[in-house]
Amino acid sequence: MVTIQVEEATVIFTIEGWHKLWSFRSELRIPRAHIKSARPDSTIATHWAGLRAGGTYVPGLITAGTFYLDGFFNHKPTFFDVQHPENTVVVELADEQYARLVIEVENSAVVVAMLNGLTTTKI
């Protein structure tokens, strides 16, 4: 699971518990201006096709780490950390290492509203 904290111009995505080990990440810091949008999506973590570049994939259990969904060349990777797909949020990014974050959060509706609110709020 991922927790989210907003500090001025940066959104901090903190990977919790054993998920740090499975995803090879403990934290992602993304400038607010680089978050294009957020949406709930309960199917992306279970129905993806691509290449795992570092992380863990156990069908029906966990998808965590760096994955290339659109092919390895000419595309940026996607970061996953999902164990319970019903709580999944997809965060589309611009000008970042990842094209998107596919993360499990405690309350997807609240997170989507918060992140989409950040994209329309100027600092």
Section 46-73 average pLDDT: 82
- Confidence check: pLDDT of 115 > 50: yes
Task: Return the pLDDT at 59.
Answer: 85
**How far, in whole angstroms, is CA 55 from its chain's centroid?**
13
> Which residues make beta-bridge pairs with 93?
35
- Among 111, 106, 109, smallest CA distance to 83 is for 106
Cβ–Cβ < 8 Å for 34, 96: yes
pTM of the entire predicted model: 0.90
Question: 3-state class of 96 per DSSP?
Answer: coil
Structure confidence at residue 52 (pLDDT): 81
Distance CA 63, CA 22 (A): 8
Spell out the residues 6+ positions from residue 84 whose beta carbon is closer than 8 angstroms to its own: 104
